[in-house]
Amino acid sequence: MSRKNKIKILATAAALSVSGVSCSNAENENDGDMEKQSLIEKLKGLAGKGAKAIMPEMAMCYEVPAQPREEFTCPQCGNVFYIWDNGFEEITSIIERLKAQGHDVKVERICLKCAGLIPNDSEGNDVTNKFSYKAPKAKKYHIAYSANLSDFYAVEAALSNKDSYVMWGDTIQLSNEAEVLKKMLGK
């Protein structure tokens, strides 16, 4: 089965599990098996003979994706990854706001290998964000890698001469973010 079809079926499985089919656990293994069996039957109906092939994932239905992954091609090595949303749109907006203020900043997504980081062997995110910043009068860009949206909020606040930023309702003081800013901005 192609990876895309598999993802489609997993998304279907997620939809089924929210519509009443729950996952098994240690206490009610038998119930879980029955539910699993009924889920298999539903999936067979939906996905034909492919249903059996996804049982290994179904056995851990707990991490079934609620949304399909996004296809991402690393601009440096050309490898294709299927990734979860990692907040890149939000990060791009931050970068655009900083550019509008006159800051020399860039961001692009690249794979962990190209970032020189060790790729984790799970099927989670295989990409990170490459952030480049050229301070006024600096000769070259400071490069940092970060997959954390909060790091970019901290950068935005620092470059906008603010003392804090707000993320998910929490106010974070930049005085606590010295390490992040050193990593991201080199100062």
Give the residues lining the site for Zn ion (CB under 5 A): 74, 76-77, 111, 114
Amino acid at 123: E
Residue with smaller CB distance to Zn ion, 9 or 111? 111
Least CB distance to Zn ion at residue 75 (A) = 8
DSSP of 137-179, one letter per residue?
A: T-SS-EEEEE--HHHHHHHHHHHTT-SEEEETTEEEEGGG-HH
CA distances from 99 to 8, 129, 175 (A): 38, 17, 24
Cβ of residue 77: shortest distance to Zn ion, in angstroms?
3
Instruction: Give the position of tokens 């050193």.
Output: 182
Structure tokens at 187: 């100062």
Closest CA to 16 of 48, 46, 49: 46
Q: Which is nearer to Zn ion, 72 or 165 (by Cβ)?
A: 72
Smaller CB separation from Zn ion, 74 or 105:
74
Element (H, E) at 83: strand 80-83
CB of 119 to Zn ion, least distance (A): 10
Considering the complex, state which of residue 103 and residue 113 has its C-beta at the smaller distance from Zn ion. 113
Report in angstroms how near the CB of residue 83 gets to Zn ion at its nearest: 12
Considering beta carbons, is residue 95 or 114 the nearer one to Zn ion? 114
Least distance in angstroms from the C-beta of 107 to Zn ion: 15
